[in-house]
Amino acid sequence: MADAEHLHFLRLALLEAEKCIPTPTAFCVGCLLVARWPDDSSSPVILATGHSRELPGNTHAEANALAKVQKLSVDELSALFPSPLSIDLVSVLAYVDVYTTLEPCSVRTSGLAPCVDALIKAKVKRCFIGVGEPDDFVDCEGARKLEDAGIEVVWIEGLEEECLRAARRGH
């Protein structure tokens, strides 16, 4: 994908972050899961979006987007990716690019599972990040953990200030 496409998807993730209900004790984050299936030359398809606190239970953007994707049926996946090939969620996740406005969390003060663990478990292909998580609440090692798990991490340049401003809305 060209840099312009990465910026486009990150801007869409910023629109997701704007949907967050601000709170002084958590960041406002937006996320998109984009797949090119059955191979990297296929057109990108947005599988799911997510934002912080969208679903019940003090949820985070990446976990919410993954939760939505995991509910897709084979028929829904087939409609998104018309192909004579057999399709399943595991195969599609291997081609997923995560676009997130803030580095996926590696520690949750709430005790819930970190987003980085969910992304690693899902075996996504790459993670495009708008800005690193500031140390307002915890010391985040999300990008390092993704790389250690073999997931490519790409820092998108050009929207760092917007991503940080969105994250800290309500602080």
In sign, the C-alpha dihedral spanning 151, 155, 156, 161 is: positive
Is 152 known to be catalytic? Answer: no
Helix (H) or strand (E) holding 157: none
Tell me the range of 2-6, 54-58, 76-80, 140-144 where mean pLDDT is highest: 76-80
Tell me the HSE value of 53 on the side-chain side, using a 13 A CA sphere.
13
Q: Would you place residue 103 in the very low, low, confident or very high pLDDT band (cuts 50, 70, 90)?
A: very high
pLDDT at 12 over 90: yes
Alpha-carbon distance of 64 to 37, in angstroms, equals 21
- Mind listing the pLDDT tens digit for each residue in 16-43? 999 999 999 899 999 999 999 999 899 9
- Mind listing the pLDDT tens digit for each residue in 53-87? 999 988 999 999 999 999 999 999 999 999 888 99
pLDDT at 91 over 60: yes
Bridge-based pairing state of the strands 96-100 and 126-129? parallel
Share above pLDDT 70 across residues of the chain, in percent, rounded to a whole number: 97
Helix ranges (H only) for 18-148 are 61-70, 74-80, 89-93, 115-122, 142-148
Among the listed residues 25, 32, 35, 26, the one whose alpha carbon sits nearest the alpha carbon of residue 1: 35
Q: Which of 62, 133, 152, 160 is catalytic?
A: 62
Instruction: Output the pLDDT for position 138.
Output: 63
